[in-house]
A and B are shown apart, each in its own frame.
Chain A
């Protein structure tokens, strides 16, 4: 399942719409890192509302996506982590590894965060 990448002003939005295979995750990562340069984006929002599981691979990939896009000059925010998903991520021990990744409740909050970061 390919993740569409939408341009909204200075930002890119990647709304994940269903469970993703590892290959899909990596493709999304490559496309985001690439598009951030092509479109000179200042921010990226990855919407994980539709994910019912975030395991160690998904977390690791989202974290490295955030670090890579930051090196390309764009801030990444992960939005939409569901309550049950948050619960099991903490049990797995995954939260610590997310420390250097920004998160926000939903798309609106993510956009507001990016506006503060890039237009402040």
Chain B
């Protein structure tokens, strides 16, 4: 046990103590390795999420055709595909990649520590996450099929197998989600504690790189919002399997209770995934504008303000669920208010660009792309927040387009920003710029062609939970159908461009040019490791970094270099 230890030699002992094969190669405790495990598990799950999107988009564009690689899509399969697409993308792609993968990889490196505060807890968190993914995938193949009650799992549909027709699928879905929550609660505690206590000597709170703040604040938001839904998940599980009556009105339950529990979590959750993505922009933009992040403190305060406000907007998802109209007014006001700090943050990033010497590297392109795309998502959110307008917009493709202009930038553009930026630190090699740019433009253009048409079909009346629009004469018009086909074709193009990314990733990982430890000439601590990629412990235990200044000292007048690393004394 550890107490009797001489702390300074802790890192050495790691090399000496006996490790089994599994401990050493399959489940090590090194934070960089666990981060990569999360990263690749998340990207692997994204393949499923993308495949489901392909299946249901094909059905919408070409109703009742036999979809290549899938076959004819039945109504049950269609519902399952939509449900699992949403679930996978939010809980098994955005969360593990943005929070867990980048959090694990970056937090110790950026605060100048050798590992997480609790490495074995960290490994346990990944193992639970892996089990949750296995349970979810297994639920697609059980008798009755996968759960098809949408990612929001509203009762009564989700509460009783007689309605959902998926007796095993619904419960396994719920168990998988609950396990996933447990994994991220453990991971979050680790992140927060590590960032609070494990910082390098000299690193004050305003020397902490923004991405660390963002991931920690996101973890706190997650922790503070998910509790009621954990309780709700237990209650729903009892409704499904014991016959309790929490949520099913036929048995005296209250379905609106679930909606409150779900959205009390669900709205903060969108900021949970948003914050890491904006954090990546905050790291990448100063490096490639060679300019200090504009108004560090204000970025931080807007983030905290957004986080606090995000707990008071949830009922904007329930404007037409029968809530009191006076309540709707309150939630309209809070929803409009929350756009203020978010807009402010966007302005601060643009102000960082102003007057900088901008370099359009691949990570920079992604960061700029994020700001552009997210802006459309945020602005359309304000329309939806007005309860009067939302009576018409609710549950149409306008909402679908809105949240994809937020989630796609977050989950994919944000990830590509961070991934292409830290790739040299993760694998020690550079990615191919040309392929990276082709991938960037291909993805951005096709992404817009998927979701711009959906704003139009939503305004044209497309309800979002319809299997075949031919069954609705007023919606089966060629105008609307052409837009649906356009969106589907654009999706196929977008998927095709991802193969370039996959190729670039794996090719560069093994054959890319060696990057050196600081290819971007950046100031934060991860670029100061003696080895690249950093070895176990990141720095030699007797030579851990000390911090002398803030993270964004670029183009400081009077200095020869245009960057001033945080650990350089003078």
Q: Is A bound to B?
A: no
Binding site for B on A (CB under 8 A): none
Interface residues of B (CB under 8 A from A): none
